[in-house]
Amino acid sequence: MKRKFRLYSFFVAGLLAISLSCNKDTLNVPPVNATEADYFSSEAEFDKAVLGVYARLTDLYNHNVGTHMQPLYFLPGDDVTRTGNDPFEHFATLNASNGNSSRFYQMNYQMIGRANLVIQKLDEESGVYTNSALKNTHRGEVLFLRGWAFYNLWVYYGKAPVVTERISSIANLYPAESSGTQLLDQAITDLGQAATLLPATWPTGQRGRVTANSANGMLGKVLVFRATVNKAAADFTAAITAFNKLSGVSLVPNFADNFDANKENNAESLFEFQASTAGGDNIWLPNEFDGAIGTMSSYWGYFYEGNTRSNNNINYLATTKLISAFNTTDPRFALTINTASTSTKQLIKWSKNDLTGGNGNSSANNPRILRYADVLLLKAEAILQSGGSTAEAIGLINQVRTRARTMVPGGTAPADYSTAETNKTTIQNWIMNERFIELAAEGHRWPDLKRWHMAGIITLNNAFFDPINATAMSFSAPKNLVFPIPISELDRNKNITQNTDY
């Protein structure tokens, strides 16, 4: 059962009209809604406030009235391309006024701000909670979401203010920007704390809320990222420790279940956005302020070839590079790319088993943000790069390949890699290739490419990306390893500077 994460308003929306009568009783009118001073008076109200932090996920994955986040996740990489030009694929026209980028930046900070508010109220409350475990759980949830938002900001912008307290004075209105891996540092702190506070599971009606597995999986991922760019063996070791704390998760037998709207929150899933089209989903209205109708859905329009679900009939297609990376007898090939017409290069991973709303722009298919296959390959990389057992690292890669192979009785591809291999470069290339084909069109490719380039493992250039329109490609490093800071943020905060060369 899906949980609708709507934001519950606890602030006064406006002033009440007051009668001109001099009767004092008519002036003593209570607010229409609960004020902040009156709110947070019960565990249920705290729970609603926590759901308000989750609510911002909607804006990162839904239709957004035509301002979709999909280009930001899928296009700056070498697995997905599209017809026509796009600033997130070709970089030349990516600028500080880009609406998608500005919205992404803003929504992550709104998530951070809401998390900070809840944390403040948790610190201040006295006697509201009768269940201390629930209080810990609520704190763990918002810490997880805040840490994940800081990770997002580092991946796409490289620097941004690390705001961990509610801004309540003019003196704190202009926080300083971060440098280096400070955003990742805070994400690691938040996720580490969350892992100690979150429950192992939730009741069926609450599935989709983050767990200790969510936090340990994401903690390990962010540690691998920091380890890669800083060349820090200790972080790789810490990531392995976090991954080893995962319990009760496994690869599901069918790879396709991870993209099937009817197979959500399965044993492989660690974190996913809970999309729904039920209950009057309205893609034109926001998911907040306790509205009876608003958007709850995800959006996969660009994966429908020639369909009005895609914006102006623009399609997301597999690059030639991705098609060539597959063994065509690998079952994942036909579940990722339309093999009936490979000339079109249509990506079908998300549209094959979708559930869409009546307007065609809403979907009940959950975006899988973190799944166990991703973790296994990250763990293999951490073991390899920390000087651990090469056979163990290869064995983790083979788990992912075995799941793919055994979907077909008697299948032979992809074959296991030899655990006798000891060449570190060869094994790292195996890991990178497996992440390429296993996680294609899931939004993981750009973060991977960025960290590997920063570590000197690969070199990104125009030819690397393999777009359909190669003549429009205008990538240059280090400039395009980050997006420009949105102009709206530069206008608001005098302590923020634009990323270099933008």
Q: Give the pLDDT confidence of 335-365 residue by residue, as tens digits.
A: 999 988 766 789 999 999 999 876 678 899 9
pLDDT of the residue at 238:
98
User: Does residue 330 carry a pLDDT above 80?
Assistant: yes
3 within a domain of the structure (yes/no)? no
pLDDT for the residue 17: 31
* Cα separation of the two ends of the chain: 46
Examine residue 501 and state whether it is found in any structural domain, yes or no: no
pLDDT of the residue at 164: 97
- Please give the helix or strand (H or E) that residue 340 lies within, else none: none
Spatial separation of the C-alpha atoms in residues 365 and 358, rounded to whole Å: 14
Q: Assess whether pLDDT exceeds 80 at residue 15.
A: no
What pLDDT is stored for residue 29 in this prediction? 59
Three-state DSSP class for residue 80 = strand
pLDDT tens, 232-251? 999 999 999 999 999 999 99
pLDDT for the residue numbered 83: 83
Residue 58 lies in a domain: yes
Strand stretches in 344-421, DSSP E: 368-371
Whole-model pTM: value is: 0.93
Give the pLDDT confidence score for residue 275 in this predicted structure.
93
**pLDDT at position 301:** 87
Question: How confident is the model over 259-284, as a mean pLDDT?
Answer: 91
Question: In Å, how far are 132, 259, 335, 340 from 348, measured between CA atoms?
Answer: 45, 10, 7, 11
What pLDDT score was predicted for residue 193? 98
Question: Which amino acid appears at position 336 of this protein?
Answer: T
Task: Judge whether residue 204 has pLDDT over 80.
Answer: yes
pLDDT of residue 152: 98
Residue 309 · residue 298 · CB < 8 Å: no
What residue numbers bound the domain in which 48 lies?
A: 24-492
Please say if the pLDDT value at position 30 is more than 60: yes
Taking the CB of residue 92, how many other CB atoms lie within 10 A of it?
A: 14
Mean per-residue pLDDT, 465-472 = 95
In a domain, 79, yes or no: yes
Whether cis (ω within 30° of 0) applies to the bond prior to 414 is yes
- What's the domain count of the chain? 1
Worst-scoring range by mean pLDDT, 79-93, 278-292, 435-449?
278-292
Confidence category of residue 33, pLDDT binned at 50, 70, 90: low
Q: Is the pLDDT of residue 22 over 50?
A: no
**Confidence label for 38 from pLDDT (cuts 50, 70 and 90):** confident
- Half-sphere exposure of 114 toward its Cβ, with a 13 Å CA cutoff? 31
Is residue 312 included in any domain, yes or no?
A: yes
pLDDT for the residue numbered 492: 93
Looking at residue 12, its pLDDT comes to 27
Is residue 2 domain-resident?
A: no
Classify residue 132: in a domain, yes or no: yes
- State the pLDDT confidence band at 13, using cuts at 50, 70 and 90: very low
**How confident is the prediction for the chain on average, in pLDDT?**
90
In a domain, 199, yes or no: yes
Q: Coil, helix or strand for 357? A: coil
Whether the CA torsion 317, 320, 325, 326 is positive or negative: it is positive
Give the residue carrying structure tokens 């570190």: 424
d(CA 396, CA 427): 11
Question: Which tokens sit at 56?
Answer: 């911002």
**Which CATH number characterizes residue 449's domain?**
1.25.40.390
CB 294 within 8 A of CB 287: yes
Looking at residue 292, what is its pLDDT? 64
Q: Kindly report, residue by residue over 49-107, the tens digit of the pLDDT.
A: 999 999 999 999 998 776 789 999 999 999 999 988 999 999 999 999 999 999 999 99
- Per the listing, tokens 């700056």 go with 76
Percent of the chain with pLDDT over 90: 77
The confidence score (pLDDT) of residue 16 equals 26
pLDDT beyond 60 at 205:
yes
Please write the tens of the pLDDT for every residue from 106-148. 999 999 999 999 999 999 999 999 999 999 999 999 999 999 9
Beta strand spans in 289-379 (E): 316-318, 368-371
Q: Give the residues across from 82 on adjacent strands.
A: 316
pLDDT at 10: 38
